[in-house]
Structure 1
Amino acid sequence: MTIPIRQSLEGVFLTGLRPGTTRSGIPVLRARVRAQQWRHEGETFTPQEPITCDLVVFHESTQRARTRFRPGDAFIASGHVNTYDVTRDGQTVQREEFVARRLGHDAARTRYKVTRTRRRLRPAIAPAAQPGSGRAS
């Protein structure tokens, strides 16, 4: 059995999710995010300068995702890094974006309240009334 492993990104939204489409017409959400970096030194971790990058989400329910995340929200995403070239002022610059397959709030850093509607209970059917029970009423 193999365990599926993907890259992950833990960060904070700097901008809200902006809707758009790809060249082929697929709905996409884009946001600017910040992620903290750490350097492992022996038995301790030292914080480094945070990085700022683009987060891209390809999702069918883009409207639902737009309402769930706001600037300042902590998130965890799994996916991969896409590197591409951008030409600005006559110079080609290489940029990176994180393409998220899954995106959710970071439960360790986000305070939220879960509210659920009460489910209506179905009335129980008496054993004698069940079809095929063999009992006569």
Structure 2
Amino acid sequence: MTIPTDLSLHGFIATAPELSKPDSKDARFFARVGVEHWRKEADGSFTKLDPTFHNLVMYGASAKRAYARFRVGDQFVASGYITEYEKTWNEQTVQREQFVAKHIGHDTTWTRYSVDRTPANQPDPPADHLTGASEPPRVVGL
């Protein structure tokens, strides 16, 4: 049996995330994201190149959770797929693409956080809990 895989994208949130239809099942998360690029040189060193910027969207309950958790500058890892669409500006039609994230999380290489292991069937915690402002109590001596 083969391992099921999706495309992945890792980068940073470049614009303030937007949430449309927040009271609907069709909620849509949107943000422009930046992707860093590097070039390996002959001597083994790396040269940082200009980042590229792309559209990232999510839908449904995942969109609402992403909107509550992500801010400008956050590093993320997402899996999903790319879709193309047409956009008309000044009577000219342009082909565009966007990354549709099915799953997204903060990149553990760059982000410090605590893990809430409350069973998944519990309601989402209040928004102030999502900011990580307070840490859970530590258990010592186990």
Point out 4+ residue stretches in structure 1 off by more than 2 angstroms: 37-49, 61-65, 111-119
* Counterpart in the other structure of 1:135: none
In structure 2, relative to structure 1, the CA distance for the partners of 1:26 and 1:37 (3 Å cut) is: same
Residue 117 of structure 1: how far off its partner (Å) = 5.5
Greater shift, 30-39 or 102-111, is seen at 30-39
Residue 51 of structure 1: how far off its partner (Å) = 0.9
- Contact (CA 8 Å) 1:12, 1:33: kept in 2 or not? yes
* Counterpart in the other structure of 2:75: 74
Gaps of 5+ in 2: 116-134
| 2:66 partner SS | helix
Residue 46 of structure 1: how far off its partner (Å) = 4.9
- Residue correspondences, number: 117
Q: Tell me the TM-score normalized by structure 1.
A: 0.71
Q: Tell me the TM-score normalized by structure 2.
A: 0.69
State the alpha-carbon separation in 2 of the partners of residues 39 and 8 from structure 1: 20
The reply on whether 1:29 has 2:29 as its aligned counterpart is yes
- Contact (CA 8 Å) 1:81, 1:96: kept in 2 or not? yes
* Counterpart in the other structure of 1:15: 15
Give 1:4's aligned amino acid: P
- Contact (CA 8 Å) 2:27, 2:64: kept in 1 or not? no
State the alpha-carbon separation in 2 of the partners of residues 99 and 5 from structure 1: 15
- Contact (CA 8 Å) 2:13, 2:33: kept in 1 or not? yes
TM-align CA RMSD: 2.7
Gaps of 5+ in 1: 120-137
Identity %: 43
The structure that has the greater radius of gyration is 1
- Contact (CA 8 Å) 2:6, 2:81: kept in 1 or not? yes
Give 1:60's aligned amino acid: A
